[in-house]
Amino acid sequence: MIKNLLKYIAAALVPLAILIWPYIINIIFELKE
Amino acid sequence: MKELSSRELEFLRGELELWRDNNLISPQQADAIKNLYKLKASSFYKIFTLAGLALVALGLISFIAANWDEFNLNIKLIFIIAGYLTPLIISFVLKNFYNYAKTSRVFLLFASLAFGGGVVLLLNIFGANAFGKFIYNFESGRVYAVHTGLWLLGVIPAVIIFKDNLQLILLQCLTGLYLLQIRAANIFIWSWRSASFKFNLLVQPVRALILIAALWLLWLYIKKFNKNILNRVNFNLNLLITFLFVSSRLNYCFGTSLTILILALLGFALSVISREDLGSMGLFIAGALGLALTVTDFWNGSPLLNFYSADVLAVAAAVILVPVFLWQLYKGRFMGGAFFILLIMRYFFDNILSYVSRAWGFTLMGIVCVALGLYAERKFRNKRGGKHND
């Protein structure tokens, strides 16, 4: 079951990164300004 | 214990009584057989529960959609991520705690679809400010290609990790869409277009080639683990995407008529060298495109017109096709005979239509088709009847 959980987490990493990274860079840009 | 519906169980009970009363089986045996089966839980309640869940999900989605503009950026992002993670978690729970492998896969597909929705929403949010324009280059027609591109990037890990045919089908659809989009936006045509470098143009679209190669590798990889009918669907979709890509590149480099000629030759080569199903596909391509080449108009703008007139080329195509079709028929491919008949009918009907009025032409065509159909059916029936008597 742990192996399965790891599988799901690994599969979710790239999509989550795609969904989150513009948001993070947006915050960094706002902080710079 | 095997599960049966109540109607099946009723039937079995009746039959068991009949056998017992006729002394075919003992009462003990009848009981033992009866104990092998049990009543299946009614699927009605399951459907009811699922419909209820779907309604709740729809309600939630409409609530969020109706108030979308009111939410601030953080809450929007949370909704988007929750929309992706919820089906993913449901899929995990169903697989590990309830052992519903198939339903789990369906929810996995939902997760990938929700991810795509999330990407679209996200790009709409960030596209509104200058930052979004900076990252995603919203000026050109690329904008929708960016949606699709990010979406397919997110699906690739799921395909590799879960080895799921459904995910691969989604990925293939997205890749096809992506290739169409970047083609429409003229993105992968950035280099010189000169006659001596035409073959370079074939390998210029690096992204498309990488994606297509990846699709074939993923198909090979998944095929090793799964043995089901969807492998075949994956294979056919890969073939379709590759074929469309190659034909669009050839069309760009050499023009329509030469593209059709090259593809027909490729299809013919495939029908010669390949095993049964792939060879039939090759023959289909060669036959359909070859028939197109017997039409004079298809040779318009061809470089070959410098040497021969369009009429000569069309007739030459027909002359070459006839032995090819007959040879394929001789080899046992019925399709070769069908294309041969189509070729004859094409000339027949074209000539009829140019000499008589439309009404007469169509009526004659109809009568000939009906006669051919009746003849073929009768012949087929006789053949089957003969086999049956053996």
Mutate to test the interface with A, among B73, B105, B115 (most CBs of A within 10 A): B115
CA distance B292 to B302: 14
Q: ipTM score of the complex?
A: 0.88
The answer to whether B120 and B147 are in contact (CB under 8 A) is yes
Q: What is the pLDDT of residue B213?
A: 92
- Maximum Cα interatomic distance, chain B, rounded to a whole number of Å: 91
Close Cβ partners of B264 (under 8 Å, ≥ 6 residues apart)? B285, B286, B289, B290, B293
Give the tokens for residue B359: 């009404």
Say yes or no for a CB contact (<8 Å) between A22 and B92. Answer: no
The mean pLDDT values, 10 residues at a time, for chain A of 33 residues are 88 89 77 77
Amino acid at B316: A
Q: What is the pLDDT of residue B262?
A: 86
Residues 84-123 of B with CB under 8 A from A: 84-85, 88, 91-92, 95-96, 115, 118-119, 122
Among candidates B338, B321, B320, which has minimal Cα distance to B329?
A: B338
Distance from CA of A14 to the nearest CA of B (A): 6
Query: Would you give the DSSP letter of residue B228?
Result: S
CB atoms closer than 10 angstroms to residue B302: 19
For B64, list phi and psi in degrees, rounded to 5: -65, -40
For B2, list phi and psi in degrees, rounded to 5: -90, 140
Say yes or no for a CB contact (<8 Å) between B131 and A13. Answer: no
Mutate to test the interface with A, among B161, B162, B164 (most CBs of A within 10 A): B161
Residue of B nearest to A8 (CA): B92
Q: What is the pLDDT of residue B189?
A: 42
Residue of A nearest to B120 (CA): A19
Q: Would an 8 Å CB–CB cutoff place B73 in contact with chain A?
A: yes
CA distance B111 to B83: 8
Q: What is the pLDDT of residue B384?
A: 58
Percent of chain B past pLDDT 70, that is, above it, reads: 85
Low-confidence ranges of chain B (pLDDT < 70): 41-43, 127-144, 182-205, 275-276, 383-390
Q: What is the pLDDT of residue B155?
A: 92
The answer to whether B291 and B341 are in contact (CB under 8 A) is no
Q: What is the pLDDT of residue B139?
A: 45
Say yes or no for a CB contact (<8 Å) between A15 and B162. Answer: no
CB atoms closer than 10 angstroms to residue B201: 19
Q: What is the pLDDT of residue B144?
A: 67
CB atoms closer than 10 angstroms to residue B248: 16
Exposure letters B148-183 (e unless 16+ CB within 10 A, then b): bbbbbbbbbbbbbbbbbbbbbbbbbebbbbbbbbbb
Q: What is the pLDDT of residue B98?
A: 82
**pTM, entire model:** 0.67
The answer to whether B290 and B314 are in contact (CB under 8 A) is no
Say yes or no for a CB contact (<8 Å) between B135 and A25. Answer: yes
Q: What is the pLDDT of residue B255?
A: 76
